[in-house]
Amino acid sequence: NAGVMQNPRHLVRRRGQEARLRCSPMKGHSHVYWYRQLPEEGLKFMVYLQKENIIDESGMPKERFSAEFPKEGPSILRIQQVVRGDSAAYFCASLPRGTTTDTQYFGPGTRLTVL
Amino acid sequence: QKEVEQDPGPLSVPEGAIVSLNCTYSNSAFQYFMWYRQYSRKGPELLMYTYSSGNKEDGRFTAQVDKSSKYISLFIRDSQPSDSATYLCAMSINTGTASKLTFGTGTRLQVTL
C-alpha cells in the first residue's frame, strides 16, 4: 500500500531556471495539498487541488508559482524563474475522496536548493 | 500575531520522562486538531487527531484540547530515544469539505539515554 510519493527528493536549480515538483497521492485519494517549509519554520499552506480543479490557492505566491492536478498523472507544482528565497522543502499531502475530516497524509517532500 | 503559536524548543528530556508539548491558537473557528511527528529530513507523520475538547489517548500518547482556552497539548509517557523528532501541531476549520491545515512552527524534542 504505497503512501504519498514525491519526486524528485532533491532538486538543485540555478536562479532563473524552472523547478517542477511532482506528487502522486495515495491510491484512492483525490485531494492534494501543497505546503512549503522554510528552515526553522512550520509548514505553510500553498494550494489545494482536486482532479482538474484548483479549490483553494490562497497560499500561492501571486507570480511564478502554479499548480495542477490533471485527470491522469501526478500533481505538479511549478516554480518559474526560481530565486534563492524559493529554497525550501515542499511537501504534498493527500486525502481520500468524500472525506470531511482533515487528516492529511504527507509525502517525504522535495528539497529545493536554488544556487 | 500568528494564528498558531508553538514553542520551538529544543526540549531535552531523559528517557522515561513524561513530555508535554503545547500550542495556543487565536482563531476560534478552528475545530479539528492534529499532532504530527517529523523526523529530520522526512515528511510529517500523523500521530493524533481530535475534534472535541477533552482527552484522547493512543498508547503512550495523549492529546488534550481546551477550546475555551484555545490551548492544545500532546503528552508522551515513558519517552524513548526514538521519540526524538520535531512535533508539529496543526488545526483546521470545519468547512464541510476538506480544508487546509494551519501549523505551528514545531517543537524539537530530544530524548536522551
Asked if A100 reaches chain B (Cβ–Cβ under 8 Å), the answer is yes
Q: How far is B21 from chain A (nearest CA, A)?
A: 15
Q: What is the mean pLDDT of residues B34-50?
A: 92
Q: What is the pLDDT of residue B79?
A: 97
A29-37 and A88-96 strand pairing: antiparallel
Q: What is the pLDDT of residue A4?
A: 94
Q: CA of B40: which chain A residue's CA is closest?
A: A108
Q: What is the pLDDT of residue A99?
A: 62
Q: Is the pLDDT of residue B96 over 70?
A: no
Q: What is the pLDDT of residues A42-85, one digit of tens each?
A: 899 999 999 899 999 999 998 999 999 999 999 999 999 999 99
C-beta atoms of B101 and A43 within 8 A: yes
Q: CA of B88: which chain A residue's CA is closest?
A: A42
Q: What is the pLDDT of residue B34?
A: 93
Contacts with B44 (C-beta within 8 Å, 6 or more apart), sequence order: A43, A91, A106, B36, B37, B38, B88
| Alpha carbons B49 and B72: distance in angstroms, whole number | 11
Task: Report whether B46 contacts A103 (CB < 8 A).
Answer: yes
Mean pLDDT over each residue of chain B, to the nearest integer: 92
| Alpha carbons A48 and A53: distance in angstroms, whole number | 9
Task: Report whether A68 contacts A77 (CB < 8 A).
Answer: no
| Alpha carbons B87 and B100: distance in angstroms, whole number | 18
Q: What is the mean pLDDT of residues A20-25?
A: 97
Q: What is the mean pLDDT of residues B106-113?
A: 95
Distances (CA, A) of B103 to A64, A86, A110, B89: 24, 19, 19, 6
Q: What is the mean pLDDT of residues A77-94?
A: 96
Q: What are phi and psi of A97, to 5 degrees?
A: -60, 140
